[in-house]
């Protein structure tokens, strides 16, 4: 395991040139100020909103609502990644996500859509249907062709850290030093992606994916450590167990806790908040920016 000082000495000069844009198939997204990614799960079994958005009409209504409220990106997911979730087959995932992506792209042609998938086949079909970002919880570990597909498609890629798979990731996850292990993982995987020609990479520490509640808070505090890679950081905290288990509540009542931790993530350096509740997250960003401008 490399030390933090070794990582820093190797990479710190990149901090002089901050990465502030993403090229989404010709549309440039500025990350000078933090942005919001709205979660739109078209699944029957996601941990918070599973089953709510199954028909194209309800999907379009929710997409419109998120765009009006200020979402920059709409993240479409067709397979639940909650702890214990099984991996569905490719045909079922395609059936769930392609029609919604096509419908949103047709109705809102300027909307930036990301596809939450672990599969190269789904990623390619989703981009052909109108998506322009690939959000992968597996870091290419479950499909050997995914990294090359991302490179070929020339779209931004969200690289997430996960220990294990959704079906077993929360069975006693262990780390000797979670921050350094996640940082080491990012450095290795970013190197692979760069070698293939992937230009726009977003880092997601993977809150709740193979981490205990304590691990999640350690990572949240250490977000600045990952900034030495000079890549935008995504925080996906929304209504997760690090909030509701710690507070002894449910995902349904975890909005207040989500807002509180989203502010912390912004203050630690996150540039993208992935959320179920767009309006509240947009307000959080506005308040954060007001604080920053009046230091």
Structure token pair of residue 158:
């969200």
Closest CA to 265 of 294, 240, 295: 240
- Mark whether 271 is an active-site residue: no
Superfamily name with CATH number, domain 4-289? Dihydropteroate synthase-like (3.20.20.20)
Longest dimension (CA), the chain: 52
The answer to whether residue 15 scores a pLDDT higher than 90 is no
Q: Give DSSP secondary structure letters for 214-271.
A: HHHHHHHHTHHHHGGG---BEE--TT-HHHHHHHT--GGG-HHHHHHHHHHHHHHT--
Of 4-8, 138-142, 187-191, the poorest mean pLDDT is in 4-8
Q: What is the mean pLDDT of the chain?
A: 90
- For residue 30, the surrounding DSSP H or E stretch is strand 27-30
| pLDDT tens-place string over residues 150-191 | 999 999 999 999 987 766 656 777 899 999 999 999 999 999
pLDDT band at 10 (very low <50, low <70, confident <90, very high): very low
- For residue 184, the surrounding DSSP H or E stretch is helix 178-196
Helices vs. strands in the chain: H and E counts, helices first: 11, 10
Closest CA to 114 of 68, 83, 69, 160: 160
- pLDDT of the residue at 55: 85
| pLDDT tens-place string over residues 240-269 | 999 999 999 999 999 999 999 999 999 999
Structure token pair of residue 293:
């401008």
Active-site residue, from 211, 240, 268, 271: 240
Range picked from 47-51, 89-93, 149-153 for highest mean pLDDT: 149-153
- Mark whether 240 is an active-site residue: yes
- pLDDT of the residue at 212: 93
Active-site residue, from 274, 279, 286, 293: 274
């Amino acid at each position: 395991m490399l030390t933090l000082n070794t990582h820093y000495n190797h990479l710190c000069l990149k901090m002089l040139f901050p990465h502030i844009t993403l090229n989404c198939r010709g549309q440039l997204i500025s990350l000078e100020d933090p942005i919001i990614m709205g979660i739109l799960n078209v699944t029957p079994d996601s941990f918070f909103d599973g089953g709510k958005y199954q028909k194209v009409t309800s999907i379009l209504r929710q997409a419109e609502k998120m765009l009006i409220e200020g979402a920059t990106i709409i993240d479409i997911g067709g397979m639940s990644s909650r702890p214990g979730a099984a991996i569905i087959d490719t045909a079922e995932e395609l059936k769930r996500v392609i029609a919604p992506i096509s419908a949103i792209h047709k109705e809102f042609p300027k909307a930036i859509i990301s596809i939450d998938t672990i599969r190269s086949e789904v990623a390619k079909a989703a981009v052909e249907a109108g998506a322009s970002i690939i959000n992968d919880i597996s870091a290419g570990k479950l499909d050997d062709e995914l990294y090359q597909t991302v490179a070929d498609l020339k779209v931004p890629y969200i690289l997430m850290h996960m220990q294990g798979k959704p079906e077993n990731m929360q069975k006693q996850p262990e780390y000797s030093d979670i921050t350094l292990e996640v940082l080491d993982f990012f450095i290795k995987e970013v190197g692979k992606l760069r070698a293939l020609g992937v230009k726009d990479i977003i880092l997601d520490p993977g809150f709740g994916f193979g981490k205990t509640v304590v691990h999640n808070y350690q990572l949240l505090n250490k977000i600045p450590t990952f900034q030495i890679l000079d890549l935008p950081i995504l925080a996906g905290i929304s209504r997760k167990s690090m909030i509701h288990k710690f507070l002894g509540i449910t995902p349904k009542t975890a909005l207040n806790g989500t807002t509180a931790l989203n502010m912390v993530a912004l203050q630690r350096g996150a540039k993208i908040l992935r959320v179920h509740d767009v309006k509240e997250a947009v307000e959080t960003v506005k308040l954060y920016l007001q604080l920053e401008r009046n230091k």
